[in-house]
Amino acid sequence: MASKKVKLYFEPDGKRVEANAGEKILDVARIAGIFIESLCGGQGICGKCRVIVEKCAAGAPTEAELKHLSQKELEKKFRLACSCRVHGDCQILIPKESRGGRQRVVVEGVEAPFDLDPAISSLALKLSVPTLQRPMTDMDRVFEALIGNFGLRNVSIDYEVLKKLPDLLRTGGETVTAKIWRNSEIIDVRQGVEDGNYGLAVDIGTTKLGMQLVDLSSGKVLASVGMINPQVVFGEDIMTRASHVIERYETLEELRQAVLKGINELIDDCCRRAGVESSSILEATVVGNTVMHHIFLGICPKYLVMSPFVPAIKNPLNLKARQLGLKVSRSANVHILPVIAGFVGADAVADMLAVRLNRIEELSLLIDVGTNGEIMLGNKDRILAVSCAAGPAFEGAEIKYGMRATSGAIEKIAIEPETFEVSYRTVDNLDPRGICGSGLIDAVAEMFRTGIVDASGRIRDDLKTWRIRKGEEGAEFIVVPKRETKSGIDLSVTQKDIRELQLAKAAMYTGAYVLMKRMGVSAKDLDKVFIAGAFGTYIDKTKALMIGLFPDIALEKVSSVGNTALAGAKAALISKQARREAAEIAEKVDYVELTSDPDFPDEFIKAMALPHQELSRFASVKALLASTRIN
């Protein structure tokens, strides 16, 4: 029996979608490409996918909805899109806080120090004319000119180019321009002299896609664009997405298509901005963490998230754009940078490439803060890498009023030590809607500095201030009272939120600690600390040090290097040397499995304290606290 059809009308998207009666709203929206915030991927855990369901025969509230929605909210027809099933036509309003907003996508990073030396060259060829006496094939005329004018032998031709060659050589003049990849393959032939070669650097982040369109003749960036990874409708983190694939294999292709669609939209966007034909894009480089890497390639990520967490392949790959479905020249080469391990991916390789960790003298710590943070320690002699499962706190998940760094997210907080008055700044200076990762670090660091929380992370509920109160989840600190918020709700940091952040920062610190131990060095031996990733750009390094996110080191040695993943991808795009070094990095780096280190459990527990149980390790924080702490 065919199931009953119902019609759903989504506002403010204005989309009408037909669905089967009994389907969940989030599933319907996902298929229709309508974005509803969901940090847990529809598992009823995060409670972020709140929608208002009007005029509907919806099922009774589920356990998850009763947990996440107050009685008052239920009366106002709030439901969780992941849990509410529709049984009749209805209208669904997606409130602002569930729509994600315009996310700040940082696509800029440090400029990696590589000379322009791309894989593509343009060679103008004057071809001889075939005659009955000398009936040279089209290909041989091209080969003749390549050898005669450039001494280039043993060149092959891409099959798609071969197919168009006969007409191409006869509709123009006698001069054509061959586009040669690595001096070994003809990947395009154009009429006349034509030098325009373009390339794409692509960073597939779990949350964000970043892209740069680059003029390969100059190395100049013509357009930088970014968007939310469309895969987020399947779940915010890689574990959730991988688990979807494990449950239902077909999800792999759905996930691949989702990210591909996003990338192809960004390509359109880049080309429009720069006035470049997408068919002139002859090369792309792609980075991403290992799960993103596998999904983009259509490789099942199942074994990446199961012990012993091994990738299918770590080597760099060169594939044709047509094999992957990228909307650039069908013959373009797509260079996928190598990965290191299941949780240290091509993005980490790109991070290292961007700061050229493999060539510098100074002993450096490179930290990419995130749900799955990566930490690299080393220099030209040796590099160690570790992955830290920091959990979602830095991304705003599992945090009561956590959100991503989109419009209205509180990103900066200062607390007046005597009055506990809070001053804050939001993304785009809009009304506060929640707190993003850097805001949470600020908040906790300030609460610690001002004595609102103690070194163990406990909120001092004995302090006399209206900002501290007992909430449903224990003590909480009101950052913004409801009179200042549009939603009419107090925005607070709860005891549970602080615990989540402690877990996250402890993981990052322990990762760095274990690497230093393995390398036989201590914090004082570090010459540099690089904080990478878009998130890193917004971290206040003083505050981060205050909570013990990284080892105690003079702050002038600490620098934010921005989106090094994309910067590394761009380096590999414009420089064959960078590509060689990326492969070298992947070979060279020793991956350390953090949880199997015997010191890990003890060190992790000690690192939970603010800034650390052994305050001697954080002498500068100790000094800072002594000078500013009052309570």
Q: Which residues are near a copy of itself by CB under 8 A?
A: 130-133, 135-140, 157, 159, 162-163, 165-167, 170, 297-300, 302-303, 307-315, 317, 319, 323, 341-342, 591, 593, 596
Rounded to the nearest 5°, which phi and psi values hold at 408?
A: 90, 0
Q: How far is the CB of 516 from a copy of itself (least distance, A)?
A: 20
Residues 227, 105: Cα–Cα separation, whole Å = 7
In which residue are the tokens 């005029």 written? 55
Nearest distance from C-beta of residue 505 to a copy of itself, angstroms = 25
Looking at residue 300, its amino acid is: C
CB of 41 to a copy of itself, least distance (A): 22
Residue 342 or 548 with smaller CB distance to a copy of itself: 342
Q: By C-beta, is 1 or 132 nearer to a copy of itself?
A: 132
Half-sphere exposure for 561 (CA within 13 Å, toward CB): 29
Least distance in angstroms from the C-beta of 297 to a copy of itself:
7
**Which is nearer to a copy of itself, 311 or 392 (by Cβ)?**
311
Q: Pick between residue 52 and residue 136 the one whose CB is nearest to a copy of itself.
A: 136
Closest Cα partner for 39 from 501, 436, 508?
Answer: 436
Task: Tell me how far, at minimum, the Cβ of 319 lies from a copy of itself, in Å.
Answer: 6
Task: Check if the beta carbon of residue 348 is closer than 8 Å to that of residue 358.
Answer: no
- Asked whether 348 and 489 are in contact (CB, 8 A), the reply is no
Nearer to a copy of itself, 55 or 134 (CB): 134
Q: Are 101 and 346 in contact (CB under 8 A)?
A: no
Report the nearest approach of a copy of itself to the CB of residue 165 (Å): 5
Closest distance to a copy of itself from the beta carbon of 23 (Å): 30
Give the nearer residue to a copy of itself in terms of CB position, either 119 or 445.
Answer: 119
Residue 287, SS3?
A: strand
**Closest CB 572 distance from a copy of itself, rounded Å:** 19
The distance in angstroms from the start CA to the end CA of the chain is 70
Residues contacting residue 243 through CB under 8 Å, at least 6 positions apart:
41, 235, 305
In 379-451, the DSSP E strands lie at 383-389, 409-415, 422-426, 434-435
Identify which of residues 317 and 360 has a Cβ nearer to a copy of itself in the complex. Answer: 317
Q: Are 347 and 341 in contact (CB under 8 A)?
A: no
Closest approach of a copy of itself to the CB of residue 294, in Å = 8
Shortest distance, position 466 Cβ to a copy of itself, whole Å: 50
- Residue (116 or 306) nearer to a copy of itself, CB: 306
Beta strands in 66-153 (DSSP E): 78-80, 90-93, 120-126
Residue nearer to a copy of itself on the CB measure, 263 or 546: 263
Question: Would you say 130 or 196 has its CB closer to a copy of itself?
Answer: 130
CB closer to a copy of itself out of 149 and 156 = 156
By the 10 Å C-beta count (0-12 exposed, 13-18 middle, 19+ buried), 529 is classed as: buried
For residues 393 and 608, give the distance between their C-alpha atoms in angstroms, rounded to a whole number. Answer: 14
Rounded to a whole number of angstroms, the minimum distance from the CB of residue 225 to a copy of itself is 27
Cis preceding-peptide flag for 308 (omega within 30 of 0): yes
Q: Look up residue 163 and give its DSSP letter.
A: H
Helix H or strand E segment including 534: helix 534-538
Determine the angle formed by the axes of helices 495-519 and 437-449, rounding to 10 degrees: 90
SS3 sequence of 451-501:
CCECCCCCECCCCCCCCEEEECCEEEEEEECHHHCCCCCCEEEEHHHHHHH
